[in-house]
Amino acid sequence: MSATRSVRLMGIGKVLSLLSGALLALGLAGCMGGKAAREPVFWPPDPNPPRVQFLKGVSGSKDVTTASSVKLLSLNNDDDEGPKMIAKPYGVAFSKGKFYVVDTIQNNIAIFDLVKETFEILPNKGRGKLKKPINLTIASNNGNLFVADSFRKEILEYDEMGNFVKAYGKELEMKPVDVAVDDNKIYALDISHSEIKVIDRASGEPAGVIGKAVEGQEGLALPTNLSMDKDGFLYVTNSGTGKVVKLDRDGHIVHAFGKLGDSFGEFGRPRGITVDDKGRILVADASHQNVQIFNETGRILMFFGDPGYVYESLNLPAGVTTISSNLDYFQKLAAPGFILEEVIVVTNQFGPTKVSFYGLGQMKDFKGYESITPAEKEKGGAAGQKK
């Protein structure tokens, strides 16, 4: 990292401190915990109340299963009970207690359940053999898995048992790098043409193209990642412009924010993106090596994750997702008094931790955000509250 880049990153921390009042008003300020490996690690720096804590890291089956587990389950039905590692992850998704992580080196998908202590590998053979998977999503209506394979130039579908169902889009001459689905359509993010190919789920036939630049409307520019929120809006990170673009399913651009840069709220190499249940937009940045959190209008709230080869750090973060239900397992990992609101899951392409779990929450005795009026929130009225 250059001296200039280091100064700029230090500048981001100073800006965060200066803006702590506004962040606290939104209930998204925090503090940096102890530096010892076994002490709680929080973001952002003191003296603000903690809002994000590093909880756990997973790099393979050894971090999930225990000696008391029956065996390492294998969807392939292979008689291999040895340790399984995640080499270079990218996309990540969560459904029904299981985490799905794409491995771009081993060209497979690891599936693990932290509560049940199981670690599986998706079948990778026959017509459903993955060549270069990069991202994935899970359909809400039937739980099927959809994987973007940039080498096969297709979207591959698997059922909940890991059986290959169907491949989509071979005739579209695309290079899909991410995918989103609703009940009727598949949205394949095509980096080679900077657009989203729409495919009918029932027939597999092309159903249009959205996101393309047209006269009077800026389009996608080297898009890398795609996410769909609960209302059906699509969010795309663009490495060409450093912007996050929000579209409706007809392709109309609803909103865009961000730009290339090293400053607070800007992007170096934006990658994974997700929208949580409260409408907050989370973007992983492989250049800044952090995750930035924005409100629904694109206003920066905070960021977390420090670069560096340590267990709690982010090293080329790629994918990001959130979970807000059944948090009992993760609450046990949180510091005393730190109440979790949701868990943020980030994949790291390098470093000692390949899948990092962070808790977004607050100390139970922090009463500022809930106790002030809307008018006071606008003025940063929670800034004076203490832990």
**Domains along the chain?**
56-384 (2.120.10.30)
Helices (H) and strands (E) in the chain — how many of each?
5, 25
Token representation of residue 312: 């709690």
Residue of higher predicted confidence among 65 and 80? 65
334-359: per-residue pLDDT in tens? 999 999 999 999 999 999 999 999 99
Name the percent of the chain lying above pLDDT 70. 80
- Mean pLDDT, residues 360-381: 55
DSSP 164-231: EEEEE-GGG---EEEEEE-SSEEEEEETTTTEEEEEETTT--EEEEES--BTTB----SEEEEEE-TT
| pLDDT top residue among 272 and 74 | 272
pLDDT in tens, 253-269: 999 999 999 998 999 99
Q: How far apart are CA 357 and CA 186, in angstroms?
A: 28
What is the per-residue pLDDT for 326?
87
Structure tokens at 21: 């009042």
Residue entry with tokens 């929670």: 382
**pLDDT at 213 (0 to 100):** 84
Q: How far apart are CA 151 and CA 99, in angstroms?
A: 24
CA proximity to 351, closest of 53, 113, 54: 54
- CA 378/CA 26 separation, integer angstroms: 9
pLDDT at 47: 84
| Contact predicate 245/238, CB 8 Å | yes
Residue 114: pLDDT above 60?
A: yes
- Cα separation, 136 vs 273, whole angstroms: 12
pLDDT at 369: 39
Q: What percent of the chain has pLDDT over 90?
A: 73
User: At which residue do the structure tokens 């962070």 appear?
Assistant: 358
Work out the average pLDDT over 166-192.
97
Flag whether pLDDT at 167 surpasses 80.
yes
The predicted model scores a pTM of 0.84
Question: How many residues are given for the chain?
Answer: 387
